[in-house]
């Protein structure tokens, strides 16, 4: 079983090396920070969307009595 999507550690190392070649060592921390912020914003948006139906369901139950 792979770590991420069926990829094993050697494949991930090769992918990271290729990314390092394209991006460069200077920009890598900046890229990682931007990726982390994007993932965090996505998680917040998903959490907000999950809470919306609960609020609507609760208010409709209160109206029904």
pLDDT, one tens digit per residue, over 46-62 is 888 887 776 666 666 66
Q: Give the DSSP H or E segment for 51.
A: helix 28-64
Q: For position 2, what pLDDT does the model report?
A: 63
Quote the number of domains for the chain. 1
Q: Is 57 inside any structural domain?
A: yes
Say if residue 11's pLDDT is above 80. Answer: yes
Residue 26 belongs to what domain range?
9-64
Q: Is 25 inside any structural domain?
A: yes
Length of the chain: 65
> By C-alpha distance, which of 15, 34, 35, 39 is closest to 6?
15
* Whole-number Å distance between alpha carbons of 28 and 3: 22
């Amino acid at each position: 079983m792979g770590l991420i999507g069926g990829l094993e550690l050697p494949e991930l190392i090769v992918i990271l090396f290729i990314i390092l070649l394209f991006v460069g060592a200077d920009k890598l921390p900046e890229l990682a920070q931007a990726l982390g912020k994007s993932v965090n914003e996505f998680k917040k948006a998903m959490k907000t969307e999950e809470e919306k139906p609960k609020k609507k369901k609760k208010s409709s139950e209160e109206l029904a009595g």
